[in-house]
Amino acid sequence: MLFDEPTTYMDIEHQLKFLEQIKKLKTQDKTIIMVMHDLNHAFCYSDEILLIDNRTIKKSGTPTAMLESGAVEDTFNIKLHMHESGAGSHLVITA
């Protein structure tokens, strides 16, 4: 299944419901490819991330590997780290 910015124009409740449905599809051996610019959603819902900059693949890997590589930080000139809590994990982005 291919999705291009599927959560655009959705309110946050519907974004999360949609992404939870995607997680369920993955458990049914479905291949899901999504284009998304929301880094928090990409890191929290993806098994693998492909970082593309100026039509060039810069890096690919698991969310953890991508976070550790610094490639996303270098590309977007930001700082990232995962925050773990009782409610789950989320990406913290700072300039």
- pLDDT tens for 28-41 read 999 999 999 999 89
Q: Burial of 63 by CB count in 10 Å (0-12 exposed, 13-18 middle, 19+ buried)? A: buried
Dihedral of alpha carbons 40, 53, 34, 30, sign: negative
- Pair type for strands 49-53 and 56-61: antiparallel
Query: What does the pLDDT read at residue 81?
Result: 85
Asked which of 3-7, 34-38, 68-72, 79-83 is least confident by mean pLDDT, the reply is 79-83
Task: Report, as an integer, the average pLDDT of 35-62.
Answer: 94
